[in-house]
Structure 1
Amino acid sequence: MQPDDVVKPVGRTALFTLLIALAGVALALRPQIIAIGPLQAAIQADLGVTHSVVGALSAVPILCMGIFAPLGAWLGRRVGPRIALSISVGLIVVFGLLRVASSGPIPLLALTFGIGLGIGLSGPILAMVVRRQIPSHPALGTGAYATGLVVGAMIAAALVVPLAGATDDWRRALAILSAAGLGSLAIWLLLGPRGGGMDRATVSPARIAWSHPAGWALGAIFGLQSVLFYGIAAWLAAVYIDLGWSTEAAAHLVAVFIGVGLVFTIAVPPLADRIGTRRGQLVASSVATLIGLIGLAAVPGSALVWVLLLGAGTGAIFPLVLTLPVDAGGSPGDVAATAARMLLIGYVLSATGPLALGLARDVTGDFGTSLWLLVILGVALVAMSAVITPERLHRIGSTRHV
C-alpha cells in the first residue's frame, strides 16, 4: 500500500464540510460554457459571426478540458489540490472578465482558450480529492462536485438572458457570471481540505496507461455523454428559437433540462453505491437519454416531455461516469491519472459536438440533421455503457502498477 493510500476515516462534520467545498468550487466550472447557447443570437448580432463561430465558443473550453486534464493531474501532485483548484478558478475569473472586454471573434476565441485552461485543470484534481479524502464514498464525493457543476450550469442557463437585459448585453451577462466565480474560490479556500498532504506534493506520480482498451472505453463513454449534454445545452435554445419560440422561453427550456438533470445528479450518487450495478445504472441512464433524443428529433412539439427525459438521463449518467476512475481503484495518483486519461479522450471527442452541430445548421439551414446526429450518438452511448463491467474497471487499476 502506498503512503498516500492511508486515509483516516472522516467524521460526519468533516464529510459534510468537504462535500460543500467540492460542490462550491465546482459552481464556477460550467457557466462560461452553458451561457453561450442562450446568448448566441446576441453574440451573432453584435459580432456578425456564423453559427459555427458561436459553436466554437462552447467547443474550445470543452476541448481544453481534455487537453489540459493531464496537466491538471500533474499540477495537483505538484502543489496540492487546494492550491491547484484555486489556480483553476482564478484563471476562469480573470480570462472571463478579459473576454467581455474584447472586440472581434479572434480575441474572443483566444481568451476563451484561457477560460478553458482553468476549467480543464480542475477535472482530475477533483477526482484526486475524492480518492484521497473519502475513498469509501466514491459516488458521494463525485456526486458532490457533479452537483456543483450542474447547479452552476442551471444558474447560468436561467439567469443569463435576464442578466443581459432588454438590450441583449451579452458582455454584461458574461461579466457577472465571471465575477461570481470569486464566490466559489472563497468557498474552496474556507472549507477545502487542509494539511494531511493536501497542500504539498505528497501524491506520487502515476503513469497514464494508454494501452489498456478498458481505459479507452472510459474515455469513449465519457465523451459520448459529454457530446450529448453540451450539444443539447449549446443548441437547444437555438432549435426552438428557429421553431418560433421567444428567446426567453427557449432559455427557460434549457434551464428545465439542466434543472431536471440537477435533481438526478443529486439523487443518484447516494444510491449508486448501494443499489444495482454500475453497468445497469449506466445503461438505464443512457436509454432514457436516447428516448429523449429520438423524441426531440421526431416530435419536437412535445418539447417538455423530451427535455424531462433528457435531463433525467444525462443528469443520472454524469456522476456515474465521474465515479468510474475511483471505482477502478489505486492510489490518489493512480485515480488522477485514470481521470486525466478519461477526461482527455472524452472532452477532445465531445468538443466536436457544439461545433459540428453549428456547422450542420449552417450547411442545411435547420437543426433537423443535427438532432438526428445526436440520436446516432445516443445509440453509441447505450452500446458503450453495456461494456463497463467491474472486471474491466479493476484491470485498469492493476495495469497501472505493472
Structure 2
Amino acid sequence: MESEEPSSAARILLLAAVALVGLNLRPFITGIGPLAADISAQTGLDLKGISLLTLVPMLLMGIFAFAGPFLQNRIGARRSVIAALVVLTLGSFLRLFASSGWQMVGTAALLGLGVAVVQAVFPGIVKQQFPRHVGVVMGLYSATLMGGGALGAQAAPLIAAAAADWHVGLAWLAVPAALALWLAIRCLPRDGGTRQGTTSTTALLKWPRVWLLMACFGLVNGGYSTVVAWLAPFYQEHGWSAAASGSLLAIMAVCQALAALFLPVLAARGEDRRPWLWLTLAMQAAGFAALTFWPEAAPLASAMLLGAGLGGCFALSMIVALDHLADPVEAGALSALMQGGGFLITALPPWIVAVLHDLTGSFHAGWLMHLACAIVVAVLYWRVSPGSYANAMNPGNTGVAHQPCQQKCAIETPL
C-alpha cells in the first residue's frame, strides 16, 4: 500500500468503505439481546448459554487480534479484510438455518472470527492511508461500528416480528456484509510488498505500556459487551417488550456512534487525550450507577450516558494506541495487540454477569462491577500522558528500534 494519502475521489470511496465495514462489526451481537427470549425458547439456551453468543465472538476477537502483525506482513491487509467480510456474510446467512444452541454458538464463532481479522488490520490501513487525519477517520470508523450496533438492536426485533421468525431478524445482516465486501474489493488499496521483521509481537509484549493499554481497553469494552448482552433482558424483567428494550439499546448505540465520531475531533485540538477519556469514564460510571440504583427513574438518560461514555472511550482508546508509534505498520501492530488482550478480557463479563444473576436473582451486581471497572480505568489512564510515549516505547534490550510518534502525529487537521 502507498504511504501517501489517496486522491480526493479515491479518498471519498475509501471513507465509504471504512464506514460500511465498520457498520458490520457489531449488529450480529446487539441483535441478540432483544431476541434472547425467542432464541432461548427454541434453542434451549439458558442465560449462560445466551451469554456465549457474546462471549465467543469477543474471545475470538481477542485471540485472533494477536495475528494482526502476521496478517498484515504476510497476507496483506486488503486480502485479509476481504476474506473476513466473506466470513461475515456467510456467518450471518447461516443463522437463517440455526435451530439449536450449538449451531447458534457456531455462527457466533464464525462471525467473531471475521470481525477479529478486520479489527486486527483495519487501524493500520487507516493510519497508512490517512496519516494526517488518523483521529478523524478512526472516529468515523468507531462511529459506524457503534452505529451498526444501533442498527442490529433496532432492526432485529422489528424484522423478526414482521417475518414472524427470529432467524430472519438476524440473518438479514448478510446483506450489508455483502455490500461491504463489494465496496472493499473495489476501494481498498492494493497490498504492497511484505514487510518482514518491522514489528516483533514478542518485543511489544515485553513493554508494560502494552499491557496497560490492554487492561484499559478490556475493562471498558467489558462494559460494552455486558450492556449489549443484558440491557434489553434487564428491562424486559421490568416489564418492557422486546421492541421497546431493543429501541433503548439502539438509542444507546446511537449515542455511542455520535460520541465516537465527535469526541476524537474535539480531542484532536490538544496533545493530551486523557481529559476526554476521563469524561467518557465519568459518563460510564454515572450510567452504571443509574442502572444499579434508579433503573426506572430515567432509563433513556442512563442509556444515553452509557452510550456516549462507551463509544467515546472506545474511539479515544484506539487513537491513543496509534499515537504511540509513528510507523503505520508498527502502530497497527500495537493496536492489534491492545485489542487482542483487551477482547480476551471483554469476552468474560457477560458470562460473569449471567452467573451473578443466577446467584442474586438480578443484574445489579453486574452493573456495580462495571461501575468499579470505570473507576479503575480512570486511575490507570493517569499514566498515559503524551510525554510518556517515548519512554513507554523505548525498546530497551528488545533489539527492535521503534520510533515513538512525535507530538505532531497526535494532532490531526480536518478532512
TM > 0.5: yes
Place the TM-score, normalised by the shorter chain, in its bin.
Answer: over 0.9
Q: Point out the more displaced range, 118-127 or 59-68.
A: 118-127
Aligned to 1:24: 20
Aligned to 1:144: 140
In the superposition, the TM-score normalised over structure 2's length comes to 0.90
* Cα offset, 1:13, TM superposition: 4.1
**Secondary structure of 1:165's match?**
helix
Aligned to 2:255: 260
For the Cα contact (< 8 Å) 1:221–1:381, is it kept in 2?
yes
Aligned to 1:110: 106
Aligned to 2:246: 251
* Separation of aligned partners in 2, 1:168 and 1:58: 24
1:231 aligns with 2:226: yes
* Cα offset, 1:243, TM superposition: 0.8
Which of 28, 35, 59 aligns to 2:31? It is 35
* Separation of aligned partners in 2, 1:244 and 1:66: 35
Aligned to 1:154: 150
* Cα offset, 1:53, TM superposition: 0.4
In the alignment, residue 217 of structure 2 is paired with which amino acid? F
1:378 aligns with 2:371: no
**Secondary structure of 1:206's match?**
coil
Q: CA RMSD in A?
A: 2.0
Aligned to 2:289: 294
Aligned to 2:317: 321
Q: Deviations over 1:81-102 (max 9, x none)?
A: 2111011111111123224423
* Separation of aligned partners in 2, 1:61 and 1:317: 21
Which of 68, 71, 92 aligns to 1:96? It is 92
In the alignment, residue 207 of structure 2 is paired with which amino acid? H
Instruction: Number of aligned residue pairs: give it.
Output: 395
For the Cα contact (< 8 Å) 1:62–1:347, is it kept in 2?
yes
Q: 1:287 to 1:215 in 2, by over 3 A?
A: same
For the Cα contact (< 8 Å) 1:227–1:353, is it kept in 2?
yes
Q: 1:374 to 1:260 in 2, by over 3 A?
A: same
1:339 aligns with 2:332: no
Q: Deviations over 1:230-280 (max 9, x none)?
A: 111111111110011111111110011001111111112222221462111
Q: 1:190 to 1:7 in 2, by over 3 A?
A: same
In the alignment, residue 87 of structure 1 is paired with which amino acid? A
Q: 1:201 to 1:300 in 2, by over 3 A?
A: same
For the Cα contact (< 8 Å) 1:57–1:112, is it kept in 2?
yes
* Cα offset, 1:202, TM superposition: 4.6
* Separation of aligned partners in 2, 1:122 and 1:87: 9
* Separation of aligned partners in 2, 1:160 and 1:127: 28
In the alignment, residue 307 of structure 1 is paired with which amino acid? A
Q: Deviations over 1:356-392 (max 9, x none)?
A: 1122222222212222122111222222232211133
**Secondary structure of 1:73's match?**
helix
* Cα offset, 1:150, TM superposition: 1.2
Identity score, percent: 27
**Secondary structure of 1:44's match?**
helix
1:128 aligns with 2:124: yes
Q: Point out the more displaced range, 322-331 or 202-211.
A: 202-211
For the Cα contact (< 8 Å) 2:210–2:338, is it kept in 1?
yes
In the alignment, residue 322 of structure 1 is paired with which amino acid? M
Q: Deviations over 1:128-150 (max 9, x none)?
A: 10221122222112112112211
Q: 1:241 to 1:215 in 2, by over 3 A?
A: same
**Secondary structure of 2:277's match?**
helix
1:348 aligns with 2:341: no
* Cα offset, 1:72, TM superposition: 3.1
Q: Point out the more displaced range, 69-78 or 308-317.
A: 69-78
Q: Which runs of 5+ in 2 are unaligned?
A: 403-415
**Secondary structure of 1:179's match?**
helix
Which of 78, 82, 94 aligns to 1:82? It is 78
1:191 aligns with 2:184: no
Aligned to 1:207: 200
* Separation of aligned partners in 2, 1:203 and 1:36: 41
In the alignment, residue 207 of structure 1 is paired with which amino acid? S
* Separation of aligned partners in 2, 1:145 and 1:396: 27
In the alignment, residue 287 of structure 1 is paired with which amino acid? A
**Secondary structure of 1:112's match?**
helix
Q: 1:161 to 1:357 in 2, by over 3 A?
A: same
Q: Point out the more displaced range, 48-57 or 363-372.
A: 363-372
In the superposition, the TM-score normalised over structure 1's length comes to 0.92
* Separation of aligned partners in 2, 1:90 and 1:123: 15
In the alignment, residue 18 of structure 1 is paired with which amino acid? L
In the alignment, residue 387 of structure 2 is paired with which amino acid? E
* Separation of aligned partners in 1, 2:151 and 2:276: 27
Q: Which runs of 5+ in 1 are unaligned?
A: none
For the Cα contact (< 8 Å) 1:236–1:254, is it kept in 2?
yes
Which of 272, 281, 289 aligns to 1:277? It is 272
In the alignment, residue 277 of structure 1 is paired with which amino acid? D
